[in-house]
Amino acid sequence: MVKVTVCGAAGGIGQPLSLLLKESPRITHLSLYDIVNTPGVAADLSHINTKSKVTGHVGNEQLKEAIEGSDVVVIPAGVPRKPGMTRDDLFKINAGIVRDLATAAAKYAPKAFMCIISNPVNSTVPIVAEVFKKHGVYDPRRIFGVTTLDIVRASTFVGELIGKDPKDVRCKIVGGHSGLTILPLLSQVPGSDTLSQEQIEKVTNRIQFGGDEVVKAKNGAGSATLSMAYAGARFALSIIEAAFFGKSIVECTYVQLDADKQGAQDTKRVIGNGIDYFSVPVELGPNGVESILPIGSLSAYEQSLFTKATAELKGNIAKGTNFVADSKL
Ligand code: NAD
Ligand code: LMR
**pLDDT, position 329:** 78
- Who contacts 209 (Cβ-Cβ below 8 Å, separation ≥6)? 179
Pocket of ligand 2 (CB under 6 A): 80-81, 87, 119, 149, 211, 214-215, 223-224
Sequence letter at residue 196: S
Specify whether the CB–CB gap between 98 and 128 falls below 8 A.
yes
Per 3-state DSSP, the chain is made up of helix, strand and coil in percentages (nearest 5) of 50, 15, 30
CATH topology of domain 3-145: Rossmann fold (3.40.50)
**HSE toward the beta carbon, residue 216, CA cutoff 13 A:** 5
Atom 4 (ligand 1) nearest CA: 11
Break the chain into its structural domains and give their ranges.
3-145
Is the predicted pLDDT of residue 304 greater than 90, yes or no? yes
| Closest by Cα among 46, 55, 50, 2 to 24 | 50
Taking residue 191's Cβ as centre, other Cβ atoms within 10 Å add up to 14
> Which atom of ligand 2 lies closest to the CA of 150?
2
- Binding site membership of 10 for ligand 1 (Cβ less than 6 Å): yes
Specify whether the CB–CB gap between 72 and 33 falls below 8 A.
no
Q: How far apart are the C-alpha atoms of 158 and 151, rounded to whole Å?
A: 10
**pLDDT, position 36:** 98
Q: What tens digit of pLDDT does each residue of 211-259 get? A: 999 999 999 999 999 999 999 999 999 999 999 999 999 999 999 999 9
> Which atom of ligand 2 lies closest to the CA of 215?
9
What secondary structure letter does DSSP report for 293? P
Specify whether the CB–CB gap between 177 and 257 falls below 8 A.
no
Whether 29 is catalytic is: no
**pLDDT, position 28:** 98
Q: How far apart are the C-alpha atoms of 93 and 77, rounded to whole Å?
A: 11
Is the predicted pLDDT of residue 328 greater than 90, yes or no? no
**Element housing 115 (H / E):** strand 113-116
Atom 39 (ligand 1) nearest CA: 117
What is the 119 CA–ligand 1 centroid distance (Å)?
A: 8
Catalytic-role residue among 47, 57, 135, 177: 177
- Binding site membership of 159 for ligand 1 (Cβ less than 6 Å): no
- Binding site membership of 182 for ligand 1 (Cβ less than 6 Å): no
- Binding site membership of 210 for ligand 1 (Cβ less than 6 Å): no
User: Does pTM surpass 0.75?
Assistant: yes
- Binding site membership of 14 for ligand 1 (Cβ less than 6 Å): yes
